[in-house]
């Protein structure tokens, strides 16, 4: 019985057929126990030696493994949104690895924390389902260890930073261009990004190239001119947005946001409990103006839509929602404004995806001793984490869909045999999802299953499926021998 995850590694091209085959075999074994240590992932001593040898092999590049998953992602895009708009979510996460011993080639997240930053592009359907389709690109940043402080550091000016060809910020532009090229002929991407991507040079570059985007504004004090006054009188973006009259309001559920382990993360995204917020929306057409420190080769102005999202009647001691969204999308009608808002709200899916890698695949617990091995491990985990995210999404977005939309016929038979409670005769996607979570210890009154619970249930299901298949194979061999 072939694991569907095998297709995600089917296009790996490492220049050696044996290495290509090993990548697929390791990926399938890893998928059977994503959060387990390597000795449990491998089913024999030989497999374990092969796993370690593969991830440490200098001729194996993580980019080739990610590219294979990207090819399969494009195939799914062709099935679901060929020739139509789709969303590409861009964001960066950090991976931290503990231990006193320095891992060869590893970067630093600070003076004492080893790790690196991973910048990813996640494809989503734009039809309202927010169906996750896979990862289209990955960019890695390894920072050197900071030198011991010797007094105040001289800060670089904005002009000097903008002129630096090696600045980290360029990862946004590179991945936008790479994914746009990859999707050419497949679908029309709308690039969705948080405040970190708000830089005039990046927005202007996308605008000139005809790339569509929805970006949350960070620079609210930038100069703009409004279509309302014929693009004549300059104003500040925030002031103009506050004067714009709201034309629609809607109740929106806000997910719980836990406290981040990074101080900067808590400043940007303070923890909060889940709640239903009443939001109102306003929109304006404006021209953004180039900052004085930027290169004169960058266009002087770009015309975009600005959607102001603000919360009203915020509960006491809660920070109100207040977003300014800059977009190439039309914003003339209520439906167009709501599409922009819903497009940006879909950005949280990539944060869930990062959790699937960190928690579901226990990636930061990996004990490999080199950055190279850890990057190969990350590439192997990327399709597995996507499959977990897709399973949970399907059960939430289309709970009444037939069970076969999320599991194979054979896997459903195994689940029916080992499920804690009997499955219905015609189970739905939600029935399957909850049955798998129950195997991991989930109790219905505990709310929606978390990544650890879901992963534990999948581990048990995949192990049972392996035993089931082995018994079936032995039974067939006995039948043949007795004939």
Query: Residue 264's pLDDT is what?
Result: 54
User: Looking at the 3D structure of the chain, how many domains does it have?
Assistant: 3
What integer pLDDT is reported at residue 267 of this predicted model? 59
* Best CA proximity match to 413, nearest among 465, 466, 361, 375: 465
Q: How do residues 108-127 score in pLDDT, each as one tens digit?
A: 998 889 999 999 999 999 98
SS3 (DSSP) at 82: coil
Does any domain span residue 112? Answer: yes
One domain for residues 360 and 466 = no
- Quote the CA–CA distance of 438 and 306 in Å, as a whole number: 45
338 in a structural domain: yes
Range of the domain at 47: 4-60+368-377
pLDDT at 1: 42
Regarding whether 357 and 402 lie in a shared domain, the answer is no
pTM: 0.86
For residues 408 and 347, membership in a common domain is answered with no
pLDDT (tens digit, 9 = 90+) per residue, 282-319? Answer: 999 999 999 888 888 999 999 999 999 998 888 887 88
Using CA of residue 131, residue 447, residue 455, residue 113, what is the dihedral sign? positive
Domain assignment of residue 165, yes or no: yes
Examine the domain organization and report whether 140 and 83 are in the same domain: yes
Rounded-to-integer distance, Cα 11 and Cα 215, Å = 33
Same domain, 468 and 352: no
The answer to whether residue 113 is domain-embedded is yes
Residues 428 and 336 in one domain: no
What's the CATH number where 308 sits? Answer: 3.90.350.10
Cα 175 from Cα 138, distance rounded (Å) = 8
Q: What angle do CA 322, 323, 325 make, to 5 degrees?
A: 165
Task: Evaluate whether residue 481 is within a structural domain.
Answer: no
On whether both 444 and 352 belong to a single domain, the answer is: no
Does 153 map to a domain?
Answer: no
442 within domain boundaries: yes
* Mean predicted lDDT score pLDDT of the chain: 87
CB proximity list for 261: less than 8 A, separation 6 or greater: 96
Residues 53, 89, single domain; the answer is no
Q: What is the pLDDT of residues 81-115, one digit of tens each?
A: 889 999 999 999 999 998 878 899 999 998 889 99
Q: Residue 269's pLDDT is what?
A: 60
Same structural domain, 433 and 352: no
Q: Which residue numbers in the chain have pLDDT < 70?
A: 1-3, 149-165, 255-273, 444-448, 450-452, 455, 472-483
CATH number for position 428: 1.10.740.10
Residue 82 CA to residue 188 CA, distance in Å, equals: 8
Same domain, 280 and 190: yes
- Of the residues 343, 377, 411, which one is the last residue of a structural domain? 377
128 and 222 housed in the same domain: yes
Instruction: Identify whether the C-beta of residue 86 lies closer than 8 Å to the C-beta of residue 188.
Output: yes
pLDDT of the residue at 211: 97
- Within a domain: 203: yes
* DSSP assignments along 279-302, one per residue: EEEEEEEEEEE--TTS-TTS-SEE
* One domain for residues 120 and 249: yes
């Amino acid at each position: 019985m072939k694991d569907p995850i095998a297709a995600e590694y089917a296009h790996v091209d490492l220049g050696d057929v044996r290495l290509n085959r090993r990548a697929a075999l390791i990926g399938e074994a890893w998928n059977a126990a994503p959060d387990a240590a390597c000795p449990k992932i491998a089913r024999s001593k030989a497999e374990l030696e092969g796993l370690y040898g593969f991830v440490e092999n200098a001729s194996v590049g993580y980019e080739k493994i990610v590219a294979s998953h990207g090819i399969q992602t494009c195939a799914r895009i062709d099935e679901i949104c060929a020739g139509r708009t789709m969303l590409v979510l861009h964001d960066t996460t950090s991976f931290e690895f503990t231990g006193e011993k320095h891992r060869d080639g590893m970067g630093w997240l600070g003076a004492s924390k080893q790790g690196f930053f991973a910048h990813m592009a996640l494809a989503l359907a734009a039809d309202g389902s927010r169906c996750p389709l896979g990862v289209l690109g990955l960019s890695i940043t390894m920072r050197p260890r900071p030198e011991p402080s010797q007094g105040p550091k001289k800060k670089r000016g904005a002009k000097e930073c903008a002129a630096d060809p090696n600045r980290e910020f360029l990862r946004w532009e590179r991945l936008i261009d790479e994914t746009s090229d990859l999707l050419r002929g497949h679908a029309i991407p709308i690039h969705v990004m948080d405040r970190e991507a708000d830089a005039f040079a990046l927005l202007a570059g996308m605008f000139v190239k005809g790339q569509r985007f929805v970006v949350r504004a960070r620079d609210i004090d930038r100069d703009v001119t409004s279509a309302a006054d014929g693009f004549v009188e300059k104003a500040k973006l925030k002031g103009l947005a506050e004067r714009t009259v709201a034309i629609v309001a809607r109740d929106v559920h806000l997910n719980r946001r836990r406290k981040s382990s990074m101080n900067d993360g808590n400043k940007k995204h303070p923890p909060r409990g889940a709640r239903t917020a009443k939001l109102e929306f306003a929109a304006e057409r404006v021209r953004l103006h180039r900052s004085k420190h930027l290169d004169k080769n960058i266009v002087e102005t770009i015309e975009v839509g600005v959607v102001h999202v603000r919360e009203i009647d915020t509960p006491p001691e809660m920070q109100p929602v207040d977003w300014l969204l800059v977009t190439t999308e039309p914003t003339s009608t209520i439906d167009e404004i709501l599409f922009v808002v819903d497009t940006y709200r879909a950005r949280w899916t990539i944060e869930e995806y990062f959790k699937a890698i960190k928690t579901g695949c226990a990636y930061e617990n990996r004990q490999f001793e080199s950055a190279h091995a850890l990057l190969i491990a990350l590439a192997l985990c990327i399709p597995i984490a996507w499959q977990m995210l897709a399973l949970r999404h399907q059960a939430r977005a289309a709970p009444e869909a037939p069970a076969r939309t999320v599991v194979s016929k054979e896997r459903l038979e195994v689940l029916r045999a080992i499920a804690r409670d009997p499955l219905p005769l015609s189970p739905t996607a939600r029935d399957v999802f909850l049955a798998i979570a129950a195997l991991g210890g989930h109790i219905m009154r505990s709310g929606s299953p978390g990544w650890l619970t879901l992963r534990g249930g999948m581990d048990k299901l995949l192990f049972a499926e392996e035993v089931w298949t082995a018994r079936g194979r032995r039974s067939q061999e006995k039948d043949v021998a007795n004939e």
